[in-house]
Structure 1
Amino acid sequence: MTAERVLDQTAASPDWMVAGRGFGEQHFSPLKQINDQNVNSLGVAWYLPIDSAMGMSSEPIEVDGTLYVTAALDIVYAVNASTGKQIWRFDPKAERGVSTQNSYAVRVNRGVAVWEGKVYVATGDCRLFAVDAASGRQLWASQVCDPKWTGSTGAPHVARGKVFIGYNGSDDESRGSIVAFDAQTGKEAYRFWTVPGDPALGPEPAALEMARKTWQGPEYWKVGGGDVWDAITYDPQTNLIVFGNAGAHAGEGTRQHQTPAGDKLYAGSIVAINADTGQYVWHYQTSGKYHQTENFHIIIADLVINGQKRHVAMTAPKNGFFYVLDATNGKLINGGPMVNTTWAHSLDLTTGRPVEVTPPAGRKENFQWTVHNWWPMSYSPDAGLVYVPITDSQDPHHASTPDFNTHPSGRSFFGRLIAWDPVKNEARWSVQEPIAVNGSPVSTAGNLVFQGEGTGEFSAYTADSGKKLWSVKTGSAIDSVPITYSAGGEQYVVVPIGWGSASRIFGPASMMVTMETKYGPSGLIAFKLGGTAALPNPHIVVPEVPKPPVQTFSKEDIAQGRILAESHLCEGCHSPHLDGSGAWTDQASGADGDIPDLRYMPESVHQQWYAIVMAGSHEKQGMLGFGVKDLEYPPVTKLTTKEADQIHAYIIDEEWKAYNAQHSTAKPEASAK
């Protein structure tokens, strides 16, 4: 597994050796044994159940007949690519009780990197592991960041003898960076900080001193942000690492030193650094003056624009715009909105800046729902199209008269797979999907695009026209990245299934799953022409909401409890006021790693409320004790007993709502006194 093999991705190359199949991360395969003429003959080749209580959001890697895939708790599986038999399993035993960010990061993992006989995985307690690809034996582990800040959820990337990884945490004011480690030894080679640090610690590299001029406000360096939690792409033609990062989220944090809206480099940007040295080369900021955004998957490709061949970097951030940048210098070539956006209506190709909408009085920033999230896109050089999984809004007034006081989850959303023409800057075709959040696409030389949905449906479309040719119901939500490869002379398409990604922790379930696919199993499904294996057919049982305790607290206590549940991060993991995971699951029930839906809390747990919430009796499972001490990242003051009671009152109230919704007759004791 070498750079030469990755670069030699010809039509005969059978493998999927790095994320996106090649360094440019196009998520396109030249294989065409499966094509638009015979895709109806696809059947299940094999199915492997995976023990992952938080589903799967991984992109498998396939090298020489072995698949490597990750699940929740950062566990790595090696699987025979032809038979689906497990070869080995590696558990890094990531800690969950260091911080709230670390606790949720451990629940999500988006994949591995493979390089010269080693498999690399990053963990939610912010370490990078190297294990032997043949045996799964640990070789070394290196610290990426302090787990008190956050953890890593993304897949490492490899190039030039180095492993590149970042971490998440902008929402909780962690200072972002991308770190390069020696692939053989695990020694840190360099670190590129994306936002300036404390000026009292002395001068920083020239690129950060340049960025410092764009920050304002008292103690601006404590805001943090700019975390490189997902998008990392290596461009061998320029020898650049091109990565995207999160915004600074000014005005949304809990500290008093939030900075005014503005550039705040290099937060909310695409940044390119020299792969060998980590030196800054260029940046392009997708955030505007009044809107901070996050940046995701970046595709490197060659396009002919206005009769000229251009080497480009293509990306679609959270903000709803599609960007085509010159990969050599970061200059904007082309771009525009994929949907009706609220924060800006166009890009000025002369200045490279968005033409923004001024925010309403009293607000520093504009509102924009998340159009595209971390799920990778796919680019077919045959069709000349980029396939982007997005979330669209069904409200025709949303773009022109947005309600800035309403959370976007209260609106009506749906999913869409868009085939975007990056040269003409327009959609060629699109497919509307019933659920807002869906998996990634993969395209092939067989004129096909495969994609999985939150409904559990896995489908194939024609790459040129978007005609649906084939689909199968898997029974589980699909939040992962499918791949295709050839083994033993047969082409396989593999997709991980199971409701995954961090979105399930803090987002409304109705935007991601159906009642059936919410409870579906986790696993890997492989398809091939003429496959005859059986799909899983689980017996789905919707759990009963236990009868809650009598509500003895006042309506005022309940209302205050909801405020405290948000300020003390209950909402960030359990989402009690939303339609959550729909079950009470914990280690004792055999669902290690899951986060329970508080509306399904059994009587025994109500009785342990103080021990769990205040004293931290479940700290090893990632539930910190909020009555023990103040938290630092994000800064949260410890709970008083009265405050813990008020949160409990709010949870009981939400549990009664769920109980009454499941039973036809409301109970009189449900109402607050």
Structure 2
Amino acid sequence: MKDHRVLPYGFLRGFIASVGCVMLISCDSASDTSYASGKDLITAAPDGDDWPAYGRTYDEQHFSPLADINERNVAELGLAWNIDLPISNMTFTQPLEVGGVLYYTTGYSVITAVNAATGKELWRYDPQVTDEIGEKQRASWGPRGIAYWNGKIIAPTLGGRLFAVSAATGKLLWSQDTTEGPEDGRFISGAPRVFRGKVIIGHGGADTGNVRGYVTAYNADTGARMWRFHTVPGNPADGFEDDAQRRAAKTWRGEWWKLGGGGTAWNSFTYDAELDRIYVGTGNGAPWNQNIRSPGGGDNLFLSSVVALDANTGKYIWHYQTNPGETWDFNSTMDMTLATVDIDGKSRRILMHAPKNGFFYVLDRDSGKLISAEPFTAVTWAKRIDLKTGRPVENPEARFGEGKGRIRPGSTGGHNWMAQAFSPQTGLLYLPTTERAVSYDGTGIDPKSWQRQPDMVLDSGFKRNPITAPFPAGPEYASALKAWNPVTQKVAWSIPQRGLFNGGVLATAGKLVFQGNAEGHLVAYAADSGKVLWRFNAQNGMLAAPITYRANGRQYLTILTGYGAIAGGMGPDSARLGWDYRLQKRRVLTFMLGGRDALPPFKKEVEPMLRTPQFKVDATLALEGAATFGRKCMACHGPGAIAGGTGPDLRKSAIVPDMNAFEQIVRQGVARQLGMPKFGELGDRDLRAVQHYVRQQAALAKDQ
């Protein structure tokens, strides 16, 4: 197996700040470290010394039993060490720590190992994803985490590979393509999970291609495929893989398989060690618009569901569908947290799930039956969840058919992928929530003639109106960190927050809850009351969840800073908070009691708007460019070309007015390795239209 990507320390640190970058360096091997088996670490981990999995343990509680840092002394928490990261919109991954070594990824699955107590770099491995990724780079995502098993770090790539490197040296051990070939539109944007010597992974891609969802388990030591489960049925004429697919097909209409169907499991999996089951959270339909995907309706299994599978065989056990006939991008790919609690005087093994649709579900893990469900944020699409049937009682106006509709929480979700945390001490689940209404427009769309737009463009099956006027300021989106009681289904406390999306959550036995927020502060709250006990100015927004561990006898807390990815589509909201892609630092921050490190002085500022009075905007071209920009550019560069930290603000870029430079970057892809995808399909007029649109938006904008 060829492996030439572990590079010597200090080899190359260059990056081009004007367009962003990906780390390209590596360094010398780690010191000899004794690694326990993955199973022992993840299942037991009673002392909390390590953080070996995304949720620390199989139950995905994001809870640590460490209490050296606690509610009485957290005010003494200080920065122990920090590492500057290169400019990138992919610094939202959650790190791992095993045996005194911290592992994290940045950019396109570049893994770095450092001494957890000092931050000294041990090794770095670059899988060189941009060499193979093609147009999947347009997904503007990177995997949200990595896995540890038996001396290996297992990581995915945006292109759809899953690979393992030695945790001690960074040497490549195995690599596996999880897709169905070069033309397959699947990409990986979630964290793999390991269980019983297997690693499970799913995909994204149903919003941009004709993708049929599935999950696959591989041997964690060798990469060999073990089993696969499809989350939506395929073409009945080809036969079905199992009885679950045959059953699911009865809930679909038309020729859904030609559009893939969706149901991609792009984020959350949970292993139930007590029942030896794996729970899979599935995604929305493809396209969103059910009139196109499944004309005539139907529940469309297993979209927007929690599906329980036998961990050894992948065989279907049960499912619970949160949104039958999904049509709003209501994913159920959010965290599934396990616990055992007393409900009505009886001990119950439960699964807690707060998906996009705004309801908090408590399910019986043994049977999959619904125990309770209540809204945790503003909800208008449904009146309630019927406890007898388990189905939502929808408001009639939520099914707008070929008309228009506006509902809450909308496609951004009442809770998105940011990690939730559960404390067995308080019995509360800590949940980052949002409130945002979204409009859907199905007018004038013929389900019979609709075809997906090519070239990996987000295509929901609804109208997407181009933004031609200055983006309206409007009210700020509402969001909050809520402490939710899963037994009473009521909020215990709630902290209002700025920004639509705030970071993932960590709970500890020190009676603390930690979260990084959109304003750029890492905050410690009292777990029982929500009182702010400590705050640190991280100088950038955060989406990643922090972790905590013990190294050299001391408890540490680590988080990656950087506001990107999902914030791109909310550019104006992020820009209002003052984030600028080029000027804000991304870092690894690690804290300990009595820490004395400090960040350089920081002044929040943004680049000035580029004024080019000599550039004469052609209004006709600008109107064409608005549509192209909305399809091709908005995910990173923001609505109305207001980027808000995810990508460079093109209104301020000197590259855009220079057609030669603009063409080299956009169409020739000279900045691919720095994070800018290639759009070779754009013609000369397309490129000029985008140029005129961006300059028009700059001319209309007010100086900040």
TM-score by length of 1: 0.87
Give runs of aligned pairs for residues 103-122 of structure 1, distance below 5 A: 103-105=138-140, 107-122=141-156
Q: Secondary structure at the match of 1:573?
A: helix
Judge conservation of contact 1:272–1:282 (CA < 8 Å) in 2: yes
Change (3 A) 1:45 1:627: closer
User: 1:357 Cα shift?
Assistant: 0.9
Extract unaligned runs of 5+ from structure 2.
Answer: 1-36, 442-463, 466-471
Provide the residue aligned with 2:468 in structure 1.
none
Distance (Å, rounded) in 2 between the aligned partners of 1:31 and 1:623: 41
Q: 334-343 or 491-500: which moved more?
A: 491-500
How many Å apart are 1:109 and its aligned residue?
2.7
**Deviation (angstroms), 1:322:** 0.5
Q: d(CA) in 2 for partners of 1:184 and 1:306?
A: 44
Task: Give the corresponding residue for 2:266.
Answer: 229
Q: 2:664 matched to 1:601?
A: no
Distance in 1 between residues matched to 2:618 and 2:166, nearest whole Å = 58
The code of the aligned residue for 2:423 comes to S
Is the 2:640–2:697 contact (alpha carbons within 8 Å) kept by the matching residues of 1?
yes
1:342 partner amino acid: T
The aligned counterpart of 1:547 is: 611
Instruction: Give 2:321's aligned residue.
Output: 285
Choose 52-61 or 488-497, whichever is displaced more: 52-61
Shift of 1:216: 1.2
- Whole-angstrom CA distance in 1 between matches of 2:419 and 2:256: 36
Of 63, 78, 84, 1:43 maps to: 78
Aligned residue number for residue 243 of structure 1 = 280
Q: 1:52/1:608 Cα in 2 relative to 1: closer, same or farther (>3 Å)?
A: closer
Q: Which one of the candidate residues 89, 92, 104 is aligned to 1:69? A: 104
Shift of residue 239 of structure 1?
A: 0.8
**CA separation in 1, counterparts of 2:544 and 2:147?**
16
User: Which aligned pairs between 1:241-390 and structure 2 lie closer than 5 A?
Assistant: 241-252=278-289, 259=295, 261-289=297-325, 291-292=327-328, 293-295=330-332, 296-359=334-397, 361=400, 362-363=402-403, 367=407, 368-369=409-410, 370-390=413-433
Within 5 Å, give how 1:411-426 maps onto structure 2: 412-426=476-490
RMSD: 2.8
Q: Distance in 2 between matches of 1:158 and 1:298?
A: 15
Deviations 1:126-169 (A, max 9, x none): 11110000011111111011464032121111011111111111
Contact 2:233 2:240 in 1 (8 A): no
Deviation at 1:531, TM superposition (A): 1.4
Q: Is the 8 A contact 1:260 1:364 kept in 2?
A: no
What one-letter code is carried by the residue in structure 1 that aligns with 2:245?
L
Q: 1:572 aligns with which of 635, 639, 643?
A: 635
Displacement of 1:279 after TM fit? 0.7
Is residue 2:693 matched to residue 1:650?
Answer: yes
Task: Kindly state the Cα deviation for residue 493 of structure 1 after the two structures are TM-superposed.
Answer: 1.4
Aligned-pair distance for 1:63? 0.9
Amino acid at match of 1:490: R
Out of 46, 69, 75, the position equivalent to 1:34 is 69
Counterpart secondary structure, 1:82? coil
Asked if structure 1 preserves the Cα contact closer than 8 Å seen for 2:85 and 2:586, the reply is yes
Of 597-606 and 59-68, deviating more is 597-606
Which residue of the partner structure matches residue 557 of structure 1?
621
One-letter amino acid of the counterpart of residue 425, structure 2: D
Change (3 A) 1:539 1:457: closer
Identify if the C-alpha distance between structure 1 residues 539 and 580 changes in structure 2 by more than 3 Å, giving closer, same or farther: same
Q: How many residues align?
A: 628
Question: Deviation digits for residues 219-245 of structure 1, max 9, x if unmatched?
Answer: 444243111111011111111110212
Q: Does 1:661 align with 2:693?
A: no
Q: 2:553 aligns with which of 485, 489, 503?
A: 489
Q: Is the alpha carbon distance of 1:24 and 1:425 closer, same or farther for their aligned partners in structure 2, counting shifts above 3 Å?
A: same
Instruction: Select between 267-276 and 410-419 the one with higher mean Cα deviation.
Output: 410-419
Please say if 1:443 is aligned against 2:472.
no
Per the TM alignment, residue 463 of structure 1 is displaced from its structure 2 partner at its CA by 0.7
Structure 1 residues 534 and 553, CA gap change in structure 2 (3 angstroms): closer
- Aligned position for 1:140: 174
* Change over 3 Å in CA distance of 1:474–1:618 after alignment to 2: closer
Unmatched segments (≥5 aa) in structure 1: 583-593, 629-638, 663-673
Per-residue deviation at 1:657? 2.6
> Contact 2:192 / 2:199 at 8 angstroms: preserved in 1?
yes
Q: Which amino acid aligns with 1:54?
A: N
Contact 1:454 1:512 in 2 (8 A): no
User: Counterparts of 1:87 and 1:272 in 2: how far apart (Å)?
Assistant: 39
Amino acid at match of 1:598: L
Taking the aligned partners of 1:415 and 1:140, their CA distance within structure 2 comes to: 42
- For the residues of structure 2 that align with 1:510 and 1:334, how far apart are their CA atoms? 34
* Distance in 2 separating the partners of 1:96 and 1:544: 34
In structure 2, C-alpha distance between the alignment counterparts of 1:623 and 1:258, rounded to whole Å: 35
Conserved 8 A contact 1:477-1:512: no
1:52–1:71 CA contact under 8 A, matched in 2: no
- Contact kept in structure 1, 2:320 and 2:368, CA below 8 Å: yes
Q: Which of 559, 582, 596 is residue 532 of structure 1 equivalent to?
A: 596
1:461 maps to 2:525 = yes
The 8 Å contact of residues 418 and 432 in structure 2, kept in 1 or not, is answered as yes
Q: Map Cα deviations across residues 268-290 of structure 1 (whole Å, 9 max, x no partner).
A: 11111111111111111111446
Return 135-144 or 598-607, whichever deviates more: 598-607
Could you tell me whether the CA contact under 8 Å between 1:97 and 1:622 is conserved in 2? Answer: no
Q: In the aligned structure 1, how far is the partner of 2:127 from the partner of 2:637?
A: 25
Task: Give the deviation of 1:535 after TM superposition.
Answer: 2.6
What CA distance in whole angstroms lies between the structure 2 residues aligned with 1:358 and 1:525?
A: 48
Instruction: Tell me the distance in 2 between the aligned counterparts of 1:88 and 1:51.
Output: 17
Distance (Å, rounded) in 2 between the aligned partners of 1:7 and 1:75: 27
Could you report, residue by residue, the CA deviation over 1:638-666 in whole angstroms, capped at 9, with x for unpaired residues?
x55444433332222123234x535xxxx
Query: Does the CA-based 8 Å contact 1:413-1:511 persist in structure 2?
Result: no
Q: Please tell me whether the aligned partners of residues 302 and 312 of structure 1 are also in contact (alpha carbons under 8 angstroms).
A: yes
Match of residue 3 from structure 2: none
Q: Contact conserved, 1:475 with 1:520, CA < 8 A, in 2?
A: yes
Q: Secondary structure in 2 aligned to 1:646?
A: helix
Tell whether the 8 Å contact from 2:261 to 2:287 is kept in structure 1 after alignment: no
Task: Please state if 1:199 is matched with 2:236.
Answer: yes
Asked if 2 retains the 8 angstrom alpha-carbon contact of 1:166 and 1:178, the reply is yes
Q: Distance in 1 between matches of 2:244 and 2:121?
A: 47
Q: Residues 189-245 of structure 1: CA distance to partner in whole angstroms, max 9, x if unpaired?
A: 122111112333333311111111111124444243111111011111111110212
| Amino acid aligned to 2:543 | D
One-letter amino acid of the counterpart of residue 532, structure 2: K
Percent identity, aligned pairs only, is: 36
Structure 1 residues 442 and 260: CA distance shift in structure 2, 3 A: farther
The equivalent residue for 1:670 is none
Distance 1:605 1:159, change over 3 A: farther
Query: In the TM superposition, what whole-angstrom CA distance separates every residue of 1:29-86 from its partner, at most 9, and x where no partner exists?
Result: 1111111111111111121222352251111111111111111211111111111111
